């Protein structure tokens, strides 16, 4: 009896220390490529939440309302465990080179660079990110607004995938090349900022072509504010507080494709290679609303969403073999 209990105690830390676990997407490689309609002028706002199953997300009032207001994908999947590889996949079409949640530096292209090269603008709006600097530490602590005595983690680098690329985190710049590092750090500060900047840009109707919105750990369904709180309900409340009025504003929603998803389904331990189903809803004037409330049943995953964003901006596919992602079809005006 005691020997068995000891074995379990030893196995759990070993599993916790494992790196990236790619997950299977059902029928992922059985679909034909498609072409999107002309979406010239569209802007994308992508919000990523954390670690919840699609069915649980749909029970939340605002997440349910978004699914009914736009189009909901009922067979949409994350591509790995734990968090970081999913974020990297969403902005680069691959998890290649990412091992778990440890800080990564990848010497390859990403969506931000490719957008910039084509003259499109982009920003990451990360809640809790220390504004005005290129912050590369793994996490940031500050007093929680409800209890200023205790310091709590509110921001983590692993949720801002562009910081995993060498041209943004400056790891490809030699230490003695002061000018090159200065230019790189300015590039980082230009594109990575805090959520207060999103509010300002949204309300002044100056959002970039592509916005990645990352709530902090208490608003992305990751952590509870208190033992009796519900993390997913907190995230739903945060979404409603920050986006309900804006999505009802004709000036804000003009040409905006608003997308909400989760990085992974983290309900089971140890991490399974299957059933990594997560929520995905798309809302906007370019999206045909689901008047019959029949969700899109076709199978898609994070690679397909990345390919969809590429297609919206007219970018060629950045797929890294063996990925065969296709744009999400059948929902566009």
E strand or H helix that includes residue 66: helix 61-69
Question: What pLDDT is stored for residue 77 in this prediction?
Answer: 95
Q: Which residue has the tokens 């029949």?
A: 294
Question: What pLDDT is stored for residue 7 in this prediction?
Answer: 39
Task: Transcribe 98-158 into DSSP letters.
Answer: --TTS---B-S--HHHHHHHTT--EEEEETT--TTS---SSEEEEEETTEEEEEEEEEEGG
Look at residues 1, 12, 24 and name the one whose alpha carbon lies nearest to residue 322.
Answer: 24
- Mean pLDDT, to the nearest integer, of 13-25? 69
Neighbours of 126 (CB within 10 A): 29
Question: What pLDDT is stored for residue 6 in this prediction?
Answer: 43
Neighbours of 109 (CB within 10 A): 15
- Percentage of the chain modeled with pLDDT above 70: 85
Which one is predicted more confidently, 5 or 264?
A: 264
Question: What pLDDT is stored for residue 14 in this prediction?
Answer: 38
- Residues 38-80: tens digit of each pLDDT: 999 999 999 999 999 999 999 999 999 999 999 999 999 999 9
Q: For the full predicted model, state whether its pTM sits above 0.85.
A: yes
Using the 8-state DSSP alphabet, how is residue 319 labeled? -
b/e map of 218-254 (b: 16 or more CB within 10 Å)?
bbbbbbebeeeeebbebbbebbbebbeebbeeeebbe
Task: Transcribe 289-307 into DSSP letters.
Answer: P-TT---B-S-EEHHHHHH
Question: What pLDDT is stored for residue 30 in this prediction?
Answer: 59
CA-CA distance, 302 to 40, in Å (whole number)?
23
- Residues 20-29: tens digit of each pLDDT: 999 988 876 5
CA-CA distance, 112 to 180, in Å (whole number)?
19
Q: Where are the domains of the chain?
A: 21-312
Instruction: Looking at the structure, give the CATH architecture of the domain made up of residues 21-312.
Output: 3-Layer(aba) Sandwich (3.40)
CA-CA distance, 106 to 174, in Å (whole number)?
16
Which one is predicted more confidently, 323 or 55?
A: 55
Which one is predicted more confidently, 145 or 197?
A: 197
**Furthest-apart CA pair in the chain: how many Å?**
66
């Amino acid at each position: 009896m005691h020997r068995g209990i000891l074995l379990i105690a030893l196995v759990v830390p070993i599993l916790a220390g494992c790196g990236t676990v790619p997950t299977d997407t059902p029928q992922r490689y059985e679909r034909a490529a498609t072409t999107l309609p002309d979406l010239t002028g569209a802007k994308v706002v992508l919000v990523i939440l954390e670690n919840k199953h699609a069915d649980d997300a749909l029970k939340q009032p605002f997440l349910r309302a978004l699914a009914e207001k736009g189009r909901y994908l009922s067979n949409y999947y994350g591509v790995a465990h734990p968090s970081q590889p999913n974020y990297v996949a969403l902005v680069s079409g691959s998890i290649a080179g990412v091992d778990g949640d440890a800080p990564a530096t990848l010497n390859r292209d990403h969506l931000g660079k490719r957008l910039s090269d084509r003259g499109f603008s982009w920003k990451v709006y990360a809640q809790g990110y220390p504004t005005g600097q290129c912050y590369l530490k793994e996490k940031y602590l500050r007093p929680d607004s409800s209890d200023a005595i205790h310091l709590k983690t509110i921001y983590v680098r692993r949720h801002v995938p562009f910081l995993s690329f060498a041209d943004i985190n400056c790891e490809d710049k030699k230490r003695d090349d002061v000018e090159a590092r200065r230019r790189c750090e300015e590039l980082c500060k230009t594109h990575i900022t805090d959520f207060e900047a999103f509010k300002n840009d949204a309300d002044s109707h100056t959002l970039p072509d592509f916005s990645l919105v990352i709530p902090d750990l208490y608003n992305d369904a990751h952590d509870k504010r208190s033992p009796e709180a519900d993390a997913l309900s907190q995230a739903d409340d945060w979404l409603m507080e920050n986006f309900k009025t804006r999505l009802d504003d004709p000036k804000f929603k003009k040409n905006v494709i608003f997308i909400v998803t989760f990085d992974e389904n983290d309900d089971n331990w140890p991490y399974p290679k299957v059933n990594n189903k997560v929520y995905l809803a798309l809302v906007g004037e370019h999206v045909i609303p689901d008047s019959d409330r029949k969700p899109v049943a076709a199978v898609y995953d994070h690679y397909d969403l990345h390919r969809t964003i590429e297609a919206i901006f007219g970018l060629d596919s950045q797929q890294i073999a063996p990925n065969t992602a296709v744009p999400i079809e059948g929902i566009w005006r």
